[in-house]
Amino acid sequence: MAVRHQLIRRPPSAVWAVLADPTRYGEWVVGPSQSEPLDGTWPEVGSQIRYTVRLGPWAADGTTTVRHQEVGRELELEAAFNPLGTARIFLQLRPWGEETLVVCDEHPLRGLGGTLHNPFSEAALQLRHRGMLARLARVVAQSPAPYRTGTSHA
């Protein structure tokens, strides 16, 4: 099981704002070149994003479905990409002072990816996560700060 973490120098609300925006999925996930919501409810449980992966002239679509979420804290996804099968991706946001510790846990779930899962594919997942979490940190850092309710400036 590939588990990796990244400290992002913004509060969990800023990280969640990026994760909750379905149009930004392709900006932080390694692989997709573009993404679009299949309904207007992302990141509600059962909502989906369609994404496109391109390698030169070749392109293929996949879908990602939200399987679990706790607003501002956890997002659990099932990414499906034929013929590889599906993978479970769990993102947890932990407050770390004024920053956020993001923990990513991914493993193959169904299909060819699960059948061929081995130490080499695990190492590839670790490299993918390193890139994905670094991209997420960049996207969050470049995003405007989300509006925070209940704060006082007295």
In angstroms, rounded to a whole number, what is the distance separating the alpha carbons of residues 31 and 118?
20
Record the tokens describing residue 142, joined without a space: 């470049």
Q: What band does 85 get if pLDDT is binned at 50, 70 and 90?
A: confident
Do 64 and 78 contact (CB within 8 A), yes or no? Answer: yes
Whole-prediction pTM: 0.84
CATH of domain 2-142: 3.30.530.20
Q: What band does 47 get if pLDDT is binned at 50, 70 and 90?
A: very high
| Sign of the CA dihedral with 123 first, then 35, 37, and 58 last | negative
